[in-house]
Amino acid sequence: MSYFHSEQKNLIIKYLPLVKRVVGRIDAKDSEFDQDDLISVGVIGLMDALKKYDHTKKVPFEAYATLRIKGTVIDELRKSGRVSRDRIAKLNQYYLAKEDLEKSLGRTPDESEICKELAIGERELYKLHETVHYLSRISLESAVFSERGNEVQLIDMIEDQHIASPEERLIKNEEKSIVDCAINELKDREKIILNLYYVEELSLKEIAYILDISIPRVSQIHGKILIKLRGLIGPILEDD
């Protein structure tokens, strides 16, 4: 038993840089947790991964551990009320208003028209953009494809899923293809932000420095881009 604990301790030390990388990619600037708190939570996720990892599934441990670490941290942030049900409800109202206006106008409404329909100002609109940004912590696809209001529950799907089924992998590949098509419709600046965040995996602070804007502004722009992507994806799905 003592050997097991010693071996586990060595593995935790070995994979601690992985925990720090995963935590560093999660935006929690307004949460009650500081970086060290989140790293401690991430270590709990790492320990869970060490306990439940099944090498016969032929999934690389780091990939599996990353999912577990991220899931544990996001779940803790969710429990702390980072994305409230009220904010989810307001985001749902935004999507419904957008859909209603699309039907009545016969075109995609701009944000000023949606704000007028909801009787909200620019400040509240920015909060909606930030909500979408927070919900994208799991993945780009989860934020733009999931049903309204369900994004915050996606972390529950991680439990005991070592590897996706062939059907799930096919769906995932189709989603990525559709996202690629939609991204091609974005402006160059929007593509750059997505590339820096999802491909280069830069933090909001690093992106803010590169673009010479504030960190809150980066999260707002990111959320706005995801809302735009969601709108672009609809017609692509209809064509398919």
The pLDDT tens digits of the residues spanning 26-73 come to 766 555 567 788 899 999 999 999 988 888 877 889 888 988 898 888
Mean pLDDT lowest among 57-66, 83-92, 105-114: 83-92
Of 8-12, 76-80, 216-220, which gets the smallest average pLDDT? 76-80
Greater confidence (143 vs 193) lies with 193
Q: Is the dihedral of CA 12, 15, 18, 20 positive or negative?
A: positive
When pLDDT is averaged across residues 94-118 and rounded to a whole number, the result is 89
pLDDT at residue 18 greater than cutoff 90: yes
Task: Give the pLDDT confidence score for residue 239 in this predicted structure.
Answer: 58
The separation between the first and the last C-alpha atoms of the chain, rounded to the nearest angstrom, is: 56
Domain limits, the chain: 1-82
Q: Is the pLDDT of residue 2 over 70?
A: no
Which pLDDT value is given to residue 71? 84
Kindly indicate the confidence band of residue 114, based on its pLDDT and cuts at 50, 70 and 90: very high
1-82 CATH fold: Rna Polymerase Sigma Factor; Chain: A (1.10.1740)
- Residue burial 135-155, b: 16+ Cβ < 10 Å; e: rest: bbbbebebbbbbeeeebbebb
Give the Cβ contact number of residue 45 at 10 Å. Answer: 25
Q: Is the dihedral of CA 144, 149, 155, 161 positive or negative?
A: negative
pLDDT digit string, tens, across residues 118-165: 999 988 888 888 888 777 754 566 566 654 444 333 333 333 444 455
Residue 42: predicted pLDDT: 92
Give the chain's mean pLDDT.
77
In whole angstroms, give the CA distance from residue 53 to residue 72: 15
The answer to whether 70 and 54 have CB atoms below 8 angstroms apart is no
